[in-house]
Amino acid sequence: MGMTLAEKLIAKHAGKDTVVPGEFVTAKVDIVMANDVTAPAAIRVFNKGLDAKEVFDRERVALCSSHFTPNKDIASAEMAKVMRDFAKAQSIKYYFEVGRGGVEHVVLPEKGIVLPGDLIVGGDSHTCTYGALGAFASGFGSTDVGCAMATGDVWLRVPETIRIVVKGKFLPWVGAKDLVLHVIGRIGDDGALYQALQWEGETIEDLSISGRLTISNMAIEAGGKAGLMIPDQKTIDYCNERKTREFTPQYPDADATYFRTIEVDVSALEPTISCPMLPSNTRTISQVAGQELDQIYIGSCTNGRLEDLRLAASVLKGRQTAIRTIVVPGSQEVWMQANAEGILQTFAEAGCVVSTPGCGACLGGYMGVLGKDERCLSTTNRNYVGRMGHPEAKVWLANPAIAAAAAVAGKITHPDDLGPIEEMAV
pLDDT for 424 equals 41
Which residue stretches of 49-157 are H helix?
A: 74-89, 104-110, 142-151
Confidence of residue 408 (pLDDT cuts 50, 70, 90): very high
Regarding the domain with residue range 272-417, which homologous superfamily does it belong to in the CATH classification?
A: Aconitase, domain 3 (3.30.499.10)
| Beta-sheet pairing, 353-354 with 94-96 | unpaired
pLDDT category of residue 422 using cuts at 50, 70 and 90: low
Alpha carbons 266 and 258: distance in angstroms, whole number = 22
**Residues 396, 413: Cα–Cα separation, whole Å:** 13
pLDDT in tens, 324-362: 999 999 999 999 999 999 999 999 999 999 999 999 999
Architecture of domain 5-251: 2-Layer Sandwich (3.30)
Q: pLDDT at position 419, please?
A: 80
End-to-end CA distance of the chain: 69
pLDDT by residue (tens digit) across 182-193? 999 999 999 999
Whole-structure pTM value? 0.95
What whole-number distance in Å separates Cα of residue 190 and Cα of residue 127? 18
The SS3 assignment for 69 reads coil
Q: What is the pLDDT of residue 420?
A: 80
- What's the pLDDT band for 366 if we cut at 50, 70, 90? confident
**pLDDT tens by residue, 121-166:** 999 999 999 999 999 999 999 999 999 999 999 999 999 999 999 9
Per-residue model confidence (pLDDT) at position 153: 97
Classify residue 72 by burial, with Cβ atoms within 10 Å: 0-12, 13-18, 19+: middle
pLDDT for position 344: 98
Question: Tell me, what's the pLDDT at 1?
Answer: 80
**Segment 261-286, tens digit of pLDDT:** 999 999 999 999 999 999 999 999 99
**pLDDT tens-digit series, residues 11-60:** 999 999 999 999 999 999 999 999 999 999 999 999 998 999 999 999 99
Query: What is the Cα–Cα distance from 48 to 72, expressed in whole angstroms?
Result: 28
Residues of the chain with CATH 3.30.499.10: 5-251, 272-417
CB 271 within 8 A of CB 397: no
